Chains A and B, each alone.
Chain A
């Protein structure tokens, strides 16, 4: 995979574009396919938007395309006021960003050592990380409870940030070390000749090249923790520390579920994320490309 270093801004290969003009039927088919996918993948959002304006009876009667008889804006008021939307949103953002920074920092340091240092136990350490890659969180709840109790960090943000980071490290190390292994060794050899220290090689050579896989790590981390509830519900008890999923599940009580408010809360929860994502989508890809060019 030495090609990594020689990558240039890709965009669409010019050749492919030219030739494809000749096959307008193929082109049409492709657009139809992509269009169908667009509808099936995006329909849930529309559905969710409608859902959030319905009352329980409309939702549970399961009419798929029906519009709400009279829009229940009340759902949104309920979600914002009684669902503690802003506080939960802030907490979710805080926990998620700290986790992301933590994962990136720790995993990239470790991956660098595993993939570039000459030492005996590199593969052993990698294997230790990989063992934990597929462990479901539920299996560790009890032991973690005891550990956190002894550390005295129950009911703090730390008690969810630590496991979030720890559970994301295996896959992150897997991705980052796989990527870093493929970077040609000549790069740091010449840097060493130039007298660059190990931290400098890491910071100004390896890290910039590794932007694309780090983006992947970020996205994975985000997906896995933004909606995480079991661990948060177990370790957090204070109202002021709770995250967005608490808001969703707060409308589920013993003998009733307030589906409309759940829908409204989910719309409100997804909105900032979708906005940020679409605003940054171009930048994310450009960042990846820039990283590749610099290498």
Chain B
């Protein structure tokens, strides 16, 4: 329970600047988007009010939409599945390395590189062997020719190839976040646990994991946001192709709003994103509140 009783004026002074800016720049445009979702509008000329028609088409009659939702959610699942790995790496770093900062920082570097360069790098890895693709050449060398393929254009694997790039890029990011969390767990707790006979992985299970839950929550939320907004990377690597095989919600929205010039329809997709986001926020908060209660 919050304790500070303050005047309305004080509350206003603390909250208003932030809330006002956020409302004007993020919240109102979202509302405008919701409204645009009710229009038949190319984004430039005259618009026509069509009620829920865009939403109905989107949900019942768009062959690209549901697969792209599925891919986006898969993206989120994979990103979140990466967090335990990042936590594990962070624990190892903390325990086995004398000066871990250098390594943590190194792992983190792919995140700050521009997507232009990441895309170019991974294309040279994924290309067919005949085009100098490293992965395929590697598979050839170790006698796994049967596995070689065009990783970005075979519709059955293209999306997984993209997931993997994201996992690679963001591993260091989550490791850094988990690492700062672990660094802040007091040593005397481990000391006490050792006296009780808990060491190594056992201590991690009983101390590091529960103590780090708030940090894990942050990572989860960030992973989810990153997945919903995955856009640049998909555009650079495959452009959503071949034939929509790698389209995600955000690229589909972009295609509709700005390439097909159906701004109203694109806005309906944005509205759908808001709903997913609301659900996800509620679910994540609910789960973690329970977890936190359990461990505190």
Contacts and interface: CB of A to CB of B under 8 A. Distances in A.
Interface of A: 1-4, 6-17, 19-20, 27, 30-31, 33-34, 37-38, 40-42, 44-45, 47-48, 51, 59, 61-65, 106-107, 109-110, 112-119, 122, 125, 128-136, 138-140, 142-144, 147, 162-163, 165-167, 169-171, 173-175, 178-179, 182, 185, 188-189, 192, 198, 201, 212, 215-216, 219-220, 222-223, 226-227, 245, 248-249, 259, 262-263, 266, 269-270, 273-274, 277-278, 281-282, 285, 288-289, 292
Interface of B: 1-6, 10-11, 13-15, 17-19, 21-30, 32-33, 36, 43, 89, 92-98, 101-118, 120-121, 123-125, 127, 131-134, 168, 171-173, 176-177, 180, 182-191, 194, 199-200, 203, 211, 214, 217-218, 221-222, 224-225, 228-229, 231, 250, 253-254, 257, 263, 266-267, 270, 273-274, 276-278, 280-281, 292, 296
Contact of A20 (B32, B95, B131, B274): B95
B105 A139 contact: no
B133 A62 contact: yes
A165 B1 CA distance: 29
By Cβ-Cβ distance, the 4 closest A-B pairs, closest first, are A166-B25, A143-B29, A140-B29, A134-B277
A27 B93 CA distance: 11
B contacts with A: majority SS: helix
A189 B3 contact: yes
A15 B124 contact: no
Contacts of A47: 121
Contacts of B111: 223
A270 B112 CA distance: 8
B185 A10 contact: yes
A259 B120 CA distance: 9
A102 to B, nearest CB: 8
B183 A288 contact: yes
A131 B27 CA distance: 8
A140 B32 CA distance: 9
A173 B33 contact: no
B179 to A, nearest CB: 9
13 contacts: A8-B186, A30-B96, A109-B14, A125-B19, A132-B26, A134-B224, A134-B273, A136-B231, A167-B25, A178-B214, A185-B1, A188-B3, A216-B177
Given A37-B107, A288-B180, A142 B263 contact: yes
Given A132-B27, A133-B225, A134-B281, 5 more contacts: A12-B98, A38-B103, A65-B134, A131-B278, A292-B184
Given A7-B185, A133-B225, A135-B26, A40 B21 contact: no
A149 B117 CA distance: 34
Nearest to B257: A138
A167 to B, nearest CB: 6
A97 B18 CA distance: 17
